[in-house]
Chains A and B, each alone.
With several copies, the nearest count.
Chain A
Amino acid sequence: MTADTPDEPEKSLFEAPPMGEQERMVEAILFASAEPVSVAEMASRMPQGCDPAEALQHLRRRYEGRGVRLQRVGDKWAFRTAPDLGFLLQKESVETRKLSRAAIETLAIIAYHQPVTRAEIEEIRGVSVSRGTIDLLMELDWIRLGRRRMTPGRPVTFVVTERFLDHFGLESARDLPGLKELRAAGLLDSRPPPGKSGDEDEEEEEGNDGQPDMFGEDGAQGAEDEWNES
């Protein structure tokens, strides 16, 4: 029984499937297995006489330069994504949102009054500052904690960051224009710029305290929007 006769034409009961078939088998086993598979394990699953080690070599060559490749993990084998294509397994979505009115006002107060405590921000805005607003501004790295105020309770203060200056194109917070300049620049126009109306909800959430004039700019703008929608 000299079994090694590759050029043997007639099939015997114990003849192994052709190497191409063995390659297919190894491919299917490795594909479907939930973990890397050893050569011994493959051999135990494949018909007798198969040589999974050799089939693996063929298969490995076949996948060279492909989107996936055959990789050795210890003494086992597995398909893995080609390293240069790892980015395909990351899905990233970027969503751009306008900063809420509460956030921009809080940020403005911090920028103009820094270092400023939370209580001071609330006093200026006339409404309480939600934890989320501060967190968001911190997360954006536009504000950070400053020194504690040397007053009873030693409250923390907030200051703007380098990144804030960078984002708003300022050399220092002192470059922010004063009220007079704002008015002169026409920035005290009563009309909120188009598209600002979405902020209304936010504001209502925090209460309308400090806005006794229901028919001020915001109320009117809100009402106008409702008409536009219908």
Chain B
Amino acid sequence: MSDRESTEDGGNVASIEARLRAEALIVDVDGFEGPLDLLLTLSRTQKVDLRRISVLQLAEQYLAFVERARSLRIELAADYLVMAAWLAFLKSRLLLPPDPTDEGPTGEELAAHLAFQLERLQAMREAAARLMARDQLGRDFFPRGLPETVSHRRRVTYTATLVDLMRAYARIRTRDEFRPYAFDRDAVYTMEEALERMRGLLGFSPDWTDLASYLPKGWQADPARRRSATAATFAASLELAKQGLIEIEQPETFAPIRIRTRRKDDR
């Protein structure tokens, strides 16, 4: 083919080559992975380091390509046209003197970024090629072919003490008659006791009442006993509030906590 071309009129050779190249591009248009890929391919015709590439020239090449595709009635995907529009804009920026009132990036900045994108894409392609050229597992080097299985045994042991056992039995057998009471800890007022007491008193407190007034007799003087009773009563009131039996309020920080019975129609 080249022989035939060289025998022809020398003046035509360049244009024929150019035409062939253009047609090759057009035929190949499906083979490109988008406008950036096409630009990268076009940039190879400049045969320079990508960092010194002429973006203006590249833009012109691309626009010419799109123009030719259009004249050949080849339908280009939208992103090729978007890129063409952008490159046309970039070209005008690069050619016209910068407008001082115009904000935004200069043509040079845009061109530099495009060059960076092309260089980065090229670099990634080379990196991908180098990666795939490495020795690969299952092709160049191999894992153990006869692995021995590791048996996994999970053993669950259960523990229980004699005390647990007896306590459990006591719990069942005394469920009915047994009433909790605190022995050998007479300064402790339990929450159950508080609950018991409060439930008995609830019906009589339709209005806000200081929580402290619920403390049982004999638990108010001694500080240790008062503390325990207060804590238990407070805890019991939270439980009752949770059950929707009462409401709690505290007007401000450290103010007395007050409760009242929740009205039946509110429930």
With A182-B123, A191-B116, A194-B105 known as contacts, the answer to whether A32 contacts B145 (CB < 8 A) is yes
Bound-state CA distance A140–B195 (Å) is 40
Bound-state CA distance A81–B144 (Å) is 8
Give the chain B neighbours of A187 by CB distance below 8 A.
119-120, 123, 163, 166-167, 170
Shortest C-beta distance, B167 to chain A (Å), equals 6
A-contact 0/1 string along B18-33, CB 8 Å cutoff: 0000000000000001
Whether B143 is near chain A, meaning CB under 8 Å from some CB there, is: yes
Give the chain B neighbours of A190 by CB distance below 8 A.
178, 180-182, 190, 192
B interface list, Cβ under 8 A from A? 33-37, 79, 104-105, 109-110, 112-113, 116-117, 119-121, 123-128, 130-132, 134-175, 178, 180-183, 190-192, 195-196, 199, 235, 238-239, 242
Give the chain A neighbours of B124 by CB distance below 8 A.
105, 108-109, 112, 124-125
CB pair A102–B33 under 8 Å, yes or no, is yes
Work out how many contacts link A and B, with CB atoms closer than 8 A: 283
Bound-state CA distance A111–B167 (Å) is 13
State how many residues of chain A have any CB contact under 8 Å with chain B: 74
With A91-B151, A108-B131, A211-B175 known as contacts, the answer to whether A99 contacts B160 (CB < 8 A) is yes
With A126-B117, A194-B110 known as contacts, the answer to whether A92 contacts B183 (CB < 8 A) is no
Whether A151 is near chain B, meaning CB under 8 Å from some CB there, is: no
19 pairs from A and B in contact (CB 8 Å cutoff): A32-B142, A83-B135, A86-B142, A91-B152, A92-B154, A93-B142, A99-B132, A104-B164, A105-B168, A124-B124, A127-B33, A168-B135, A168-B165, A169-B135, A182-B166, A188-B178, A191-B113, A195-B104, A223-B238
With A94-B155, A170-B162, A194-B113 known as contacts, the answer to whether A34 contacts B144 (CB < 8 A) is yes
CB pair B123–A216 under 8 Å, yes or no, is no
Instruction: For chain A, residues 36 to 64, give those with C-beta under 8 angstroms from any C-beta of chain B.
Output: 36, 45
Give the chain A neighbours of B182 by CB distance below 8 A.
190
CB pair A127–B105 under 8 Å, yes or no, is no
Give the chain B neighbours of A195 by CB distance below 8 A.
104-105, 109-110
Bound-state CA distance A33–B170 (Å) is 54
Bound-state CA distance A107–B148 (Å) is 32
CB pair A92–B142 under 8 Å, yes or no, is yes
Shortest C-beta distance, A85 to chain B (Å), equals 8
Which of A102, A166, A215 is the most central at the interface, judged by chain B CB atoms within 10 Å of its CB?
Answer: A215
Give the chain A neighbours of B155 by CB distance below 8 A.
92-95
Tell me if A's interface is mostly helix, strand, loop or mixed: mixed
B-contact 0/1 string along A206-230, CB 8 Å cutoff: 0000110001110010011001000
With A95-B154, A126-B121, A227-B235 known as contacts, the answer to whether A168 contacts B128 (CB < 8 A) is no
Which of A97, A101, A104, A224 is the most central at the interface, judged by chain B CB atoms within 10 Å of its CB?
Answer: A104
8 additional A-B residue pairs with CB within 8 Å, beyond A105-B171, A126-B36, A176-B166? A33-B148, A36-B146, A92-B152, A107-B165, A126-B37, A168-B137, A220-B239, A223-B238
CB pair B158–A80 under 8 Å, yes or no, is no
Bound-state CA distance A105–B135 (Å) is 18
Bound-state CA distance A6–B1 (Å) is 59
CB pair B146–A33 under 8 Å, yes or no, is yes
Which of A126, A188, A216 is the most central at the interface, judged by chain B CB atoms within 10 Å of its CB?
Answer: A126
With A104-B164, A179-B174 known as contacts, the answer to whether A99 contacts B159 (CB < 8 A) is yes
With A96-B139, A109-B169, A187-B120 known as contacts, the answer to whether A178 contacts B130 (CB < 8 A) is yes
Which of B120, B147, B151, B167 is the most central at the interface, judged by chain A CB atoms within 10 Å of its CB?
Answer: B120
Whether A89 is near chain B, meaning CB under 8 Å from some CB there, is: yes
CB pair A179–B144 under 8 Å, yes or no, is no
Give the chain B neighbours of A136 by CB distance below 8 A.
158
CB pair B192–A216 under 8 Å, yes or no, is yes
With A98-B158, A126-B34 known as contacts, the answer to whether A108 contacts B172 (CB < 8 A) is yes
B-contact 0/1 string along A185-199, CB 8 Å cutoff: 111111111110000
Give the chain B neighbours of A25 by CB distance below 8 A.
none
CB pair B142–A177 under 8 Å, yes or no, is no
Give the chain B neighbours of A102 by CB distance below 8 A.
33
CB pair A167–B136 under 8 Å, yes or no, is yes
Which of B130, B134, B137, B199 is the most central at the interface, judged by chain A CB atoms within 10 Å of its CB?
Answer: B137
With A105-B168, A108-B172, A223-B242 known as contacts, the answer to whether A167 contacts B137 (CB < 8 A) is yes
Bound-state CA distance A136–B160 (Å) is 13
Shortest C-beta distance, B93 to chain A (Å), equals 11
Kindly identify which residue among A35, A81, A108, A227 contacts B169, using a CB–CB cutoff of 8 Å.
A108
CB pair B167–A220 under 8 Å, yes or no, is no
